[in-house]
C-alpha cells in the first residue's frame, strides 16, 4: 500500500484515546485520511488528535459514550460536518470483560454487551446515514479471536464479539448494493492498556507469568498494535474494494493453529 492510499478520505475511530484505537487513528492519518478521534475520555481523544495534527494531519477530537444513542448520533454528525463528510468508520470502542460465567454479575454482562455490541451497532447506524451519500464507504468492526474460538474467562466479551461478527456479515449483505463495505477484524492478544487490565484482573501478582504463557500459546507470539492498525487501514482503503462481509483474524495464528 502506498503512503497516501487514504488521501481525501474522512474516517472516524471510536475508542481512539489509547491502545488499538490510537494506533488505528494514527495509521489512517499517515495514510492521508482526516480522522475524527472519538473516546469516552475527552482528554484521551484530544491527545490522539493532537498527535495527528502535530504530524501534519487533519483531525478533530470528540468525547461521547458509544452506548448513548443520542450522543453517538450527534457526534457522528459533528465529525462529518467538521471534516467534510464521512468515508470510513472503525468501530473499536471496548472495555475489559473478565469473569467466569458462574460468577459473572448481570450488571457486568450487560455493560460489556452494551459497550461492545450495542455500541458497535449504534456507531454503525449513525455512520450509515453519511456513508450512503458518498461512494466507496467502509465500516470496520473490531471483533476478537474470542468471537471465533473459546478463550478462557470471557463469556460476555466472547458473546459480544461473536455478535459483532454476525452484525458485520448481516449489514454487509444489506448495504453491498450501495457499494458500502462492512468487515470485521478479529485480533488476538496484543498488549494494550485494556489487555493489561484484563490480565491484571485475571492473574494479579502473577500477571507477567500469565502474559508469558499467552505469548507462548500463540504460534507467532504476541502481536503489536500496529499489526491491527495495518489491517484496518487496508480494509478501509480502495485496495479492499472487493472485500465485504469478511472476518479477518489478525492473531498470530491463535484461532487457526492452536494446539
Quick one: which of 233, 215, 216 has its CA closest to 224?
215
| Crossing angle of the two packed helices 106-113 and 155-175, in degrees rounded to 10 | 30
Other Cβ atoms less than 10 A from the Cβ of 107: the count is: 8
C-alpha cell at position 22: 490510537
The 8-class DSSP code of residue 223 comes to B
Residues 6+ apart with CB under 8 A from 2: none
Burial of 184 (0-12, 13-18, 19+ CB in 10 A): buried
Contact (CB, 8 A) for 185 and 235: yes
Which cell goes with 133?
A: 451519500
With beta carbons less than 8 A apart as the criterion, state whether 128 and 76 touch: no
175 carries an active-site annotation: no
Cα dihedral 171/172/173/179 (nearest 10): 120
| Cell output for 51 | 498527535
For residue 91, list its beta bridge partners.
Answer: 141
* Contact (Cβ atoms closer than 8 angstroms) between residue 253 and residue 218: yes
Instruction: Find out whether 116 and 95 touch, Cβ atoms under 8 Å.
Output: yes
Catalytic residue among 109, 157, 175, 199: 157
Cα Dmax for the chain:
52
Indicate which residues carry an active-site annotation.
157
Amino acid at each position: 500500500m502506498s503512503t497516501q492510499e487514504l488521501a481525501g478520505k474522512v474516517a472516524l475511530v471510536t475508542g481512539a484515546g489509547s491502545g488499538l484505537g490510537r494506533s488505528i487513528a494514527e495509521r489512517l492519518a499517515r495514510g492521508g485520511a482526516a480522522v475524527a478521534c472519538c473516546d469516552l475520555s475527552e482528554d484521551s481523544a484530544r491527545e490522539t488528535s493532537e498527535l495527528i495534527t502535530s504530524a501534519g494531519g487533519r483531525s478533530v477530537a470528540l468525547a461521547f459514550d458509544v452506548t448513548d444513542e443520542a450522543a453517538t448520533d450527534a457526534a457522528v454528525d459533528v465529525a462529518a460536518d467538521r471534516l467534510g463528510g464521512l468515508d470510513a468508520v472503525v468501530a473499536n470502542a471496548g472495555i475489559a470483560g473478565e469473569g467466569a460465567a458462574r460468577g459473572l454479575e448481570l450488571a457486568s454482562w450487560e455493560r460489556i454487551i452494551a459497550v461492545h455490541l450495542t455500541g458497535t451497532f449504534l456507531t454503525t447506524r449513525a455512520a450509515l446515514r453519511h456513508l450512503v451519500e458518498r461512494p466507496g464507504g467502509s465500516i470496520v468492526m473490531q471483533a476478537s479471536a474470542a468471537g471465533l474460538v473459546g478463550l478462557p474467562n470471557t463469556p460476555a466479551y466472547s458473546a459480544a464479539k461473536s455478535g459483532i461478527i454476525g452484525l458485520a456479515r448481516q449489514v454487509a449483505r444489506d448495504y453491498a448494493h450501495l457499494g458500502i463495505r462492512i468487515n470485521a477484524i478479529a485480533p488476538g492478544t496484543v498488549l494494550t492498556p485494556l489487555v493489561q487490565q484484563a490480565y491484571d484482573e485475571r492473574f494479579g501478582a502473577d500477571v507477567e507469568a500469565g502474559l508469558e504463557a499467552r505469548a507462548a500459546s500463540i504460534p507467532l507470539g504476541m502481536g503489536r498494535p500496529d499489526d491491527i492498525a495495518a489491517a484496518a487501514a487496508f480494509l478501509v482503503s480502495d485496495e479492499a474494494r472487493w472485500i465485504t462481509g469478511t472476518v479477518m483474524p489478525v492473531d498470530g495464528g491463535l484461532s487457526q493453529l492452536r494446539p
